[in-house]
């Protein structure tokens, strides 16, 4: 396989070669045509001189002698051949071995048409001009003069030789220059490749050298550095995710182990039942954590599409409120739904309901007894907005930007030992998959609001 440098050099050489060849061909043909046109003009001038001489001599009743014709000269012409005949084809004057004119040429000249053609005489190439000659008493004659093309062909051959030497030499010089320029241009890329090969998961803090020039290579280096930074952030989040998940799982496992060991040593049935109850509660907590982790993995997978369809958001809100009524009543919390109108949207009904239940559950957990959790649904142009508001302790300004991060636990005012820090992360991921957005607003000691905006059809 050819390298990019080799392909660029070959492509440049091919295009440059085609251009040079075309340019040389045009120059060669133009030069040759100009030389021939110059000979044609000289032949015309010489033919006029001969015609004038013939007319003068025949006006005196004589036909001009060959030496009188040879005495006529025209600059740029030498070794001119002459042939004069009447319209019947009978030769009247000839000083060369010019071939007999074809009948078609004679007829054309008799019709007062001038013809020019290349002919060969004794192995030499001549430019021949055939034209009528008018004399007194309407005696029409036909004159043919020919001049050799030796100098034209020699000049053309010389020019051709120059091109045959210069074109390959120019292509060689151009290919070498293209190779040098291409290698110089790709040198920063080669350096970036070497640097990128040295970057592994253990040293993602390293970056590629950014050239000082403002060009595509600088943009490539900046783009690769941004990509490496995103990979580093992803690795860090993955490590943090594993660490947090391990911590969340280790805590209930420790509690389960402790309670079971206590139950094993205890002789009292009541204490054994209590330990088993605590262990079962921790098992439920681990089950919930495992289900949340599995759901997040599925939501992150590109091969787990949403089961979308036309859904009624007002029905999802009311169904979620009804499902959470039992938990709210056990904590003396009032759920207050406010639905302005029936709203249809396109989405995955099950996952949207899961996200809304997570928000309501979160609001119930952080609301004081006797508090109110309001759930509002409204239409804003092409957006459906769901707002879940509680009257708990609120969220500090330091925690607010990270509230939707996985395993993030808010400050002590909202960390009441419940949950595992994945509910809001699931909410954000579900909303993002639906093309929407979610945000949190809060004033400390004045409750918190979670706002979901979903695009409508």
Q: In the predicted model, what is the mean pLDDT of residues 299-318?
A: 82
Residue 209 within any structural domain of the chain: no
Q: pLDDT at residue 411 above 60?
A: no
Give the closest residue to 428 by CA, choosing from 417, 420, 436.
Answer: 436
The answer on 122 and 60 residing in a single domain is yes
Structure-token pair, residue 168: 């390959």
Cα(306)–Cα(308) distance, integer angstroms: 5
Does residue 239 lie in a domain region? yes
* This model's pTM is above 0.75: no
Residues 6+ apart with CB under 8 A from 248: 289, 407, 420, 421
Task: With beta carbons less than 8 A apart as the criterion, state whether 350 and 307 touch.
Answer: yes
Residues 248 and 315 in one domain: no
Q: Quote the tokens at residue 196.
A: 């990128």
Judged against a pLDDT cut of 90, whether residue 89 lies above it is answered with no
Residue 259 has pLDDT above 50, yes or no: yes
Contact 144, 89 (CB under 8 A): no
| CATH code for the domain in which residue 126 is found | 3.30.450.20
Confirm whether 191 is domain-assigned. no
The pLDDT tens digits of the residues spanning 327-351 come to 889 889 999 999 988 899 998 898 8
Q: Kindly state whether residues 10 and 130 are assigned to the same domain.
A: yes
- Alpha-carbon gap, residue 330 to 310, rounded angstroms: 34
pLDDT band at 65 (very low <50, low <70, confident <90, very high): confident
Mean pLDDT across 148-168 = 90
Q: Which of 132, 156, 180 is the last residue of a domain?
A: 156
The answer, yes or no, to whether residue 368 has pLDDT greater than 90, is no
Conformational region of residue 435, where left means phi above 0, alpha means psi within -120 to 50, and beta covers everything else = left
Q: How confident is the model at residue 387 (pLDDT cuts 50, 70, 90)?
A: very high
Same domain, 8 and 151: yes
Is residue 235, in this structure, part of any structural domain at all? yes
Evaluate if residue 244 carries a pLDDT over 70: no
CA dist., res. 361 & res. 342, Å (int): 23
Q: Which residue, 116, 137, 156, sits at the end of a domain?
A: 156
Co-location of 279 and 361 in the same domain: no
Q: Are residues 284 and 368 in the same domain?
A: no
Residues facing 316 on adjacent strands: none
User: Model confidence at 322, in pLDDT bands (50, 70, 90)?
Assistant: very high
Say if residue 321's pLDDT is above 50. Answer: yes
Are residue 122 and residue 264 in the same domain, yes or no? Answer: no
pLDDT at residue 263 in the model: 67
Residue with tokens 């979620």: 320
Same domain flag for 283 and 399: no
Structural contact between residues 134 and 140, judged by C-beta atoms closer than 8 angstroms: yes
102-129 pLDDT per residue, tens:
767 677 666 677 888 888 887 888 888 8
For the chain, the distance separating the N- and C-terminal CA atoms, rounded to the nearest angstrom, is 51
Distances 10 to 3, 13, 168, 178, 189 between C-alpha atoms, Å: 11, 5, 14, 9, 20
SS3 category, 38 = helix
Residue 163 domain flag: no
Residue 305 buriedness (CB in 10 A; 0-12 / 13-18 / 19+): exposed
Question: Residue 224: which CATH number?
Answer: 1.10.287.130
Q: Judge whether 271 lies within some domain.
A: yes
The answer on pLDDT for 240 being more than 60 is yes
Give the span between the Cα atoms of 205 and 228, in whole angstroms: 8
229-245 average pLDDT score: 72
Indicate whether 68 belongs to any domain. yes
User: What tokens does 88 get?
Assistant: 């019947």
Q: What CATH number does residue 315 fall under?
A: 3.30.565.10
How many domains does one find in the chain? 3
* pLDDT tens digits along 1-26: 677 888 888 998 999 999 999 999 99
Residue 417: the pLDDT is 45
pLDDT number for residue 413: 46
User: 315 and 289 share a domain?
Assistant: no
pLDDT above 90 covers a percentage of the chain that reads 20
Per the CB < 8 A criterion, the answer to whether 101 and 89 are in contact is: yes
The answer to whether residue 57 sits within a structural domain is yes
Q: 220-252 as b/e, with b when 16 or more CB fall inside 10 Å? A: bbeebbeebeeebeeeeeeeebeebbeebbeeb
Considering only 3-12, 209-218, 254-263, 405-414, which range has the smallest mean pLDDT? 405-414
* 315 CB neighbour count, 10 Å cutoff: 15
Interaxial angle between packed helices 150-198 and 216-265, expressed in degrees from 0 to 180 and rounded to the nearest 10: 20
At 264, is the pLDDT very low, low, confident or very high (cuts 50, 70, 90)? low
pLDDT at 419: 58
Per-chain mean pLDDT for the chain: 81
For residues 290 and 328, membership in a common domain is answered with no
Q: Is the confidence at residue 192, as pLDDT, over 90?
A: no
In a shared domain, residues 317 and 295: no
Q: Is the pLDDT confidence value at 205 over 80?
A: no
Q: What is the DSSP letter of 206?
A: -
Residue 225 lies in domain? 216-300
SS3 87: coil
Task: Please tell me the distance from the alpha carbon of residue 348 to that of residue 292, in angstroms, as a whole number.
Answer: 17
Same domain, yes or no: 138 and 14 = yes
Q: Which of 139, 156, 173 is the last residue of a domain?
A: 156
């Amino acid at each position: 396989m050819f390298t990019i440098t080799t392909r660029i050099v070959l492509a440049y050489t091919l295009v440059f070669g085609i251009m040079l060849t075309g340019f040389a061909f045009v120059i060669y043909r133009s030069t040759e045509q100009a030389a021939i046109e110059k000979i044609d003009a000289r032949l015309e001038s010489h033919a006029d001189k001969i015609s004038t001489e013939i007319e003068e001599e025949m006006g005196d009743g004589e036909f001009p002698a060959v030496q009188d014709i040879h005495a006529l000269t025209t600059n740029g012409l030498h070794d001119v051949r002459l042939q004069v005949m009447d319209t019947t084809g009978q030769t009247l004057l000839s000083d060369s071995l010019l071939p007999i004119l074809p009948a078609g040429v004679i007829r054309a000249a008799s019709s007062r048409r001038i013809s020019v053609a290349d002919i060969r005489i004794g192995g030499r190439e001549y430019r021949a001009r055939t034209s009528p000659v008018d004399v007194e008493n309407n005696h029409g004659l036909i004159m043919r003069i020919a001049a050799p093309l030796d100098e034209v062909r020699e000049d053309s051959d010389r020019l051709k030789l120059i091109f045959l030497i210069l074109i390959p030499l120019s292509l060689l010089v151009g290919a070498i220059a293209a190779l040098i320029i291409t290698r110089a241009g790709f040198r920063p890329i080669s350096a970036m490749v070497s640097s990128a090969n040295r970057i592994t998961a253990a040293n993602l803090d390293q970056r590629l050298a950014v050239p000082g020039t403002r060009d595509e290579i600088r943009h490539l280096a900046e783009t690769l550095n941004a990509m490496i930074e995103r990979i580093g952030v992803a690795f860090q989040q993955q490590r943090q995710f594993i660490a947090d998940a391990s911590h969340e799982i280790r805590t209930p496992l420790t509690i389960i182990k402790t309670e079971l060991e206590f139950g094993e040593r205890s002789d009292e049935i009541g204490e054994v039942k209590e330990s088993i109850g605590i262990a079962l509660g921790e098992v439920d907590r681990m089950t919930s954590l495992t289900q949340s982790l599995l759901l997040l993995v599925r939501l992150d997978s590109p091969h787990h599409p949403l089961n979308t369809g036309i859904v009624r958001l007002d029905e999802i809100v009311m169904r979620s409120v009804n499902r959470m009524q039992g938990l709210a009543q056990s904590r003396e919390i009032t759920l207050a739904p406010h639905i302005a109108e029936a709203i249809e949207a396109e989405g995955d009904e099950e996952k949207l309901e899961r996200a809304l239940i997570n928000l309501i559950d979160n609001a119930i957990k952080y609301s004081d007894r006797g508090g109110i959790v309001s759930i509002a649904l409204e239409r804003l142009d092409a957006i459906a907005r769901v707002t879940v508001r509680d009257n708990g302790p609120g969220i500090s300004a330091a925690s607010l930007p990270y509230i939707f991060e996985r395993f993030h636990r808010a400050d002590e005012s909202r960390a009441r030992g419940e949950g595992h820090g994945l509910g809001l992360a699931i909410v954000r991921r579900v909303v993002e998959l639906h093309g929407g957005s979610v945000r949190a607003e809060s004033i400390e000691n004045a409750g918190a609001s979670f706002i979901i905006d979903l695009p409508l059809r």
